[in-house]
Amino acid sequence: MSTTNKNDQVPTLLVKDSQGSDLLCFLEQVVPLEGNEYALLTPVDTPVSLFQLIDDQDPKLIETIEKNEPILEVADVVLQEHDLRLVRSAITLTVSGELDEPEPEEIEEEDIDDESETYELLVNFRVESNEYGLYIPLDPFFIVGKLEDGEVKLVEGEEFDKIQSGIEAELEGRGLSE
């Protein structure tokens, strides 16, 4: 899922979260709402999700993980074998580097959480006696940022909950939502 082929004309913005981490994103849409401007963004690098793989069970999503977690150090070593690099960025883990584009018939999709999002396994690895996998979400990964004073701040938590329906309604009005 390489994003390096994306049109060179698409502007990029650096999004910061409340912990000061950042993530380079493509600007997809600007949505004016309640006197503010919000940006609909997609990561430049490929977003990935970390799952614990447990025998005979659905993979279990690890939602929060410390940036210096030993599991991520092992994942980084495994990715380096494929000329890839794990980036501990704001919002999500991402992988930078040239990912091979799989043939559509080769994609082994897995519905692995109750929201029935679909993922593709990128790599799996062991840490001590546990097995983990980094998966690429096959659904688009959008981020909402608030444009203010020339910066983009991640919209998260309660603020996101308040504006989500307004942004969805605006995009629907433009004919851009599913």
CB 65 within 8 A of CB 120: no
| Number of Cβ within a 10 Å radius of residue 113 | 15
Provide the pLDDT confidence category of residue 1 given band limits of 50, 70 and 90.
very low
Q: Tell me the per-residue pLDDT of 39-55, one tens digit each, with 9 for 90 and over.
A: 999 999 999 999 999 88
Is the pLDDT at 28 greater than 70? The verdict is yes
Is the pLDDT reported for residue 73 higher than 50?
A: yes
